[in-house]
Amino acid sequence: MIEWSTELGVHLRLVIAFTGRRMALLRLATILLPALPAQAAYAQDPMPLTRLSGPVVLDGLSDEPAWELVPTLPLVVYQPTFGMPPTERTEIRIAYDDEYLYVAGRMYDSNPAEVRVYSLYRDGAFSDDLFAIILDTYNDHETALWFTTNPAGVRSDRTISNDAEFTGGGDPRRLLNSDWNTFWDVATQRNDEGWFAEMRIPFSSLGFQDVDGRVVMGLTAYRWITRRQERHLFPAIPPNWNFGFAKPSQAQRVSLEGVHSSRPVYITPYALGGLTRAPELNGNQSAYDFHNDVTNEIGLDVKYNATNNLTLDLTVNTDFAQVEVDDQQINLTRFSLFFPEKRQFFQERAAIFEFATGGLSRLFHSRRIGLNQGEPIRILGGARLVGRIGNTDLGMLNMQTAGENGLPYENFGVVRVRQKVFNSFSNVGAMATTRFADDGTYNVAVGADAIFRPFGDEYFTLKWIRTFDDVDAPGTSFFDASRFLVLWQRRNDNGFGYAGEFVRSGIAYDAGVGFQLRNDFTFINNELKYQWFLGSTSPFRTISIENMAQAYVRNGDESVESASIKPSFKMEFKTGARVELSLNSSYESVLVPFVIPGGPNIPSGNYWFHEGKLRYQLPRGGTKSGDISLGAGSFYDGWRMNLSAAPEWRISPHLTLGTDYELNIIRFSERNESLDAHLVRFRVRAALDIHFSASTFAQYNSAADELSMNARLRYHFSEGNDLWLVYNEGFNTEREVLMGPRLPFSQNRTFMLKYTYTFIR
């Protein structure tokens, strides 16, 4: 039993009282104050979608009589030049019935042999010709679901959060999250006129709010012609943002009548069997023998739409054997590395749990659950409830992990509430996280946040978090255990843009279920940029100049711990290629010497160092793509040269090869120390068809002296019904040891066979 301190109880009561009073004041303000002006798109009535008048067959052609009564959407060319005449004819129709949303696209092409299909791999068709729909199902102008297919009928689905804005601490891998999957169907056909597609998306896979059967949501649809880098878009969103075509806030509001989502229960049991082979020293310590460990597991996931807009997920003996391993990284800093979440259970409406606290730091990071230094810890079970009630986002999560590898049993809890106020772009919210262990240790964090759009594209953000744990010293002050964030930014990439951010973090602040790089600091960040969208006669689509200046100041003596100034110049060609030239002047005050993994020490001292970098990115619409960058300059009391390349070769729709290579050459001449750090990742993705696929991922990190391989073979019978064969192995690259026998080449080897089947009731 964990006894909460008196101070913790007092603070929690104060937080609850403060939050309640502030919500009451905000509700009163909403009534008394006039609504702030919103963009014109929200002043108009939603566009009614057409209910199908008869049956349709999901074959891709959309040639049934019912489709002829559905009007086509008015399209505009979004890029390469906004408003230019389309080079090909495109027809997009949207309709619905009682159970499904139907999306039909007729992508006519004057040269159908040039229609590009490079991948048959699920969620891998990024460089192909594409047909897509983006749905802001909760009509919150901030989050959306993105469904895409290519001419071969390969499905890709992902989620969008933070209105597709990569500012204010947003992580691009979460803002556009391709690890999310749901239930839906697609069919495509190709002929001498072009290619044709039909999507059928169950309302039960979307989640929405209906008022007496009337549903309002945001809708964006587009066609992508990859050989021309041309996007046909509905509605006519201006190119004022680098990712404007995917912004939920710019989507067309549409209405559906007589829609009541069904509430099926998805029951997904799994069976897992495997063999792990690991070396052990023999009895006389003269050699290694291999020991085999057999694994047999069963588990269960349940998904239930408690209401049209609330989804409950339950899990027992959770397993993530089929998840691809993390990308290794070279760490040249004194801070921890950040790794994104890839596990499917944590993906559903994950944006609700976003609470960035500056940079990559966040109040909640789901990788703290069931993982310890990258190694899995058994998750005994848990529950997750996410959704939206009226104008309020709600998220709750509770997970229980087992005590393994010397770690205690732990329970993790998260509650998130966020309420729209004033207009569609402003909200206030609160979040709490808990972490309790059976050895008596605990960590609790409570926070409040608010984001307001007072006018135009101006956004003002406020955040506060207070943490409590069992190691807090007596008398720990409110400020010592708190973090504050203030951010003002202009969210518009056409013309002048800026952002100013202030963060203060106390010495005792510790988000036990979050991620943070440092503590006891004050952070100041300023960003300025100007971007031009060029006309039809220019070879460039955009040209921009930017500058970022930031500093971390120690709270104790107000000395600067880290600082940087980074001006950059960027050019985007209408072919899709990009060029970036940047300079980076960095200051680091090192009080305690640290070691670069695999390399030399960095002595204590104060350092200014400067680096220039050139990066070139190939267009994505070809058999070969990728990017290459080269940087050089001073590095602490020495110098560094960095080379990175990420080429990808699409040999055929059945086979794609990709390599990431990074080289860091570091020299400290006065100390006669050096480091040559290589990082190599090699990926092979193969697909016989949309059902049978395989991937191999090998990587080597010379700085950490790690060599590993991950291979996954998948047979996808249908959505929710999969068979996986997974192979993982780590290797010893330095096998000779000073004392003892020679190490075996294999550190460990694992084969896992996993089968999942989803029952829908």
Residue predicted with more confidence, 373 or 728: 728
Confidence (pLDDT) at 173: 54
45-256: in CATH 2.60.40.1190: yes
Confidence (pLDDT) at 275: 95
Confidence (pLDDT) at 389: 87
- The pTM assigned to this predicted structure is 0.85
Note whether 303 and 202 are within 8 A (CB): no
Confidence (pLDDT) at 242: 79
pLDDT above 60 (res 5): no
* Position 169 confidence tier, pLDDT thresholds 50, 70, 90: very low
Confidence (pLDDT) at 10: 36
* Position 286 confidence tier, pLDDT thresholds 50, 70, 90: confident
Q: How many CA atoms lie less than 13 Å away from 106 in the CB half-sphere?
A: 14
The first and second tokens of residue 492, run together, are: 């518009």
Q: How far apart are CA 755 and CA 761, in angstroms?
A: 20
Residue predicted with more confidence, 510 or 738: 510
* Position 325 confidence tier, pLDDT thresholds 50, 70, 90: confident
Asked which of 307-311, 536-540, 614-618 is least confident by mean pLDDT, the reply is 307-311
3-state DSSP assignment of residue 508: coil
CA distances from 746 to 288, 638, 749 (A): 11, 37, 7
Confidence (pLDDT) at 310: 87
Confidence (pLDDT) at 44: 64
Strand partners, 729: 709, 749
Note whether 131 and 152 are within 8 A (CB): no
Closest CA to 751 of 393, 168, 321, 255: 321
Asked which of 344-348, 456-460, 663-667 is least confident by mean pLDDT, the reply is 344-348
* Position 350 confidence tier, pLDDT thresholds 50, 70, 90: confident
3-state DSSP assignment of residue 25: helix
The first and second tokens of residue 204, run together, are: 């039960």
In 3-state terms the chain splits into helix, strand, coil percentages (rounded to 5) of: 10, 50, 40
CA distances from 486 to 428, 449, 524, 526, 652 (A): 14, 10, 10, 12, 49
pLDDT above 70 (res 672): yes
Note whether 176 and 160 are within 8 A (CB): yes
Q: How far apart are CA 492 and CA 247, in angstroms?
A: 12
How far is C-alpha 97 from the geometric centre of its chain's CA atoms? 32
Confidence (pLDDT) at 12: 36
Confidence (pLDDT) at 364: 96
- Report residue 153: phi and psi, to 5°: 80, 15
Note whether 369 and 378 are within 8 A (CB): no
Average pLDDT over residues 168-176: 56
Q: How far apart are CA 64 and CA 61, in angstroms?
A: 8
Residue predicted with more confidence, 472 or 662: 662
* Position 174 confidence tier, pLDDT thresholds 50, 70, 90: low
Q: How far apart are CA 425 and CA 642, in angstroms?
A: 41
The first and second tokens of residue 234, run together, are: 């509905």
Confidence (pLDDT) at 433: 98
Residue predicted with more confidence, 321 or 115: 115
pLDDT above 50 (res 19): no
Q: How many residues does the chain have?
A: 761
pLDDT above 80 (res 27): no
Q: Residue written as tokens 């040639």?
A: 63
Every domain of the chain with CATH number 2.60.40.1190 lies at: 45-256
Q: Residue written as tokens 């087992």?
A: 402
pLDDT digits (tens, 9 = 90+) for 590-600: 999 999 988 78
The first and second tokens of residue 158, run together, are: 């992902």
The first and second tokens of residue 252, run together, are: 């067309």
The first and second tokens of residue 353, run together, are: 């749990």
pLDDT above 70 (res 202): yes
Q: How far apart are CA 314 and CA 318, in angstroms?
A: 10
Residue type, 115: V
Q: Where do the H-state alpha helices sit in 157-297?
A: 172-175
How far is C-alpha 303 from the geometric centre of its chain's CA atoms? 22
**Average pLDDT over the chain, rounded to an integer:** 89
Residue predicted with more confidence, 164 or 363: 363
pLDDT digits (tens, 9 = 90+) for 636-658: 999 999 999 999 999 999 999 99
Q: How far apart are CA 665 and CA 679, in angstroms?
A: 12
Residue type, 540: F
Confidence (pLDDT) at 620: 82
- Report residue 368: phi and psi, to 5°: -75, -10
Average pLDDT over residues 560-580: 96
Q: Residue written as tokens 């995917």?
A: 246
- Report residue 380: phi and psi, to 5°: -70, -35
Strand partners, 633: 611, 640
Sign (positive or negative) of CA dihedral 156, 161, 164, 170: negative
Average pLDDT over residues 510-530: 95
Closest CA to 148 of 163, 169, 129: 129
pLDDT above 70 (res 15): no
Q: Residue written as tokens 């220019």?
A: 538
The CA dihedral of 338, 340, 346, 351, to the nearest 10 degrees, is: 90
Confidence (pLDDT) at 41: 41
Task: Report DSSP letters for 474-495, one per residue.
Answer: TT--TTTTEEEEEEEEE---SE
Q: Residue written as tokens 């509700």?
A: 27
Closest CA to 354 of 489, 511, 162: 162
Note whether 37 and 455 are within 8 A (CB): yes
Closest CA to 145 of 184, 93, 192: 184
The first and second tokens of residue 543, run together, are: 């040209």
CA-angle at 226, arms to 225 and 230, nearest 5°: 50
Task: Report DSSP letters for 30-78, one per residue.
Answer: HHHSPPPP--GGGTSPPEEPEEPSS----SS---SHHHHTSPPPP-EEE
Residue type, 521: F
Confidence (pLDDT) at 372: 87
Asked which of 141-150, 161-170, 520-529, 555-564 is least confident by mean pLDDT, the reply is 161-170
- Element spanning 20, H or E: helix 6-32
Q: How far apart are CA 461 and CA 489, in angstroms?
A: 9
Q: How far apart are CA 267 and CA 724, in angstroms?
A: 18
Confidence (pLDDT) at 362: 93
> How do beta strands 601-602 and 594-595 pair?
antiparallel
The first and second tokens of residue 289, run together, are: 């023998």
Average pLDDT over residues 439-453: 96
Residue predicted with more confidence, 446 or 14: 446
Average pLDDT over residues 402-414: 92
Q: How far apart are CA 351 and CA 462, in angstroms?
A: 18
Average pLDDT over residues 403-415: 92
Confidence (pLDDT) at 406: 84
- Element spanning 22, H or E: helix 6-32
pLDDT digits (tens, 9 = 90+) for 352-389: 899 999 988 999 999 999 988 878 899 999 999 998 88
What share of the chain has pLDDT > 90, as a percent?
Answer: 68
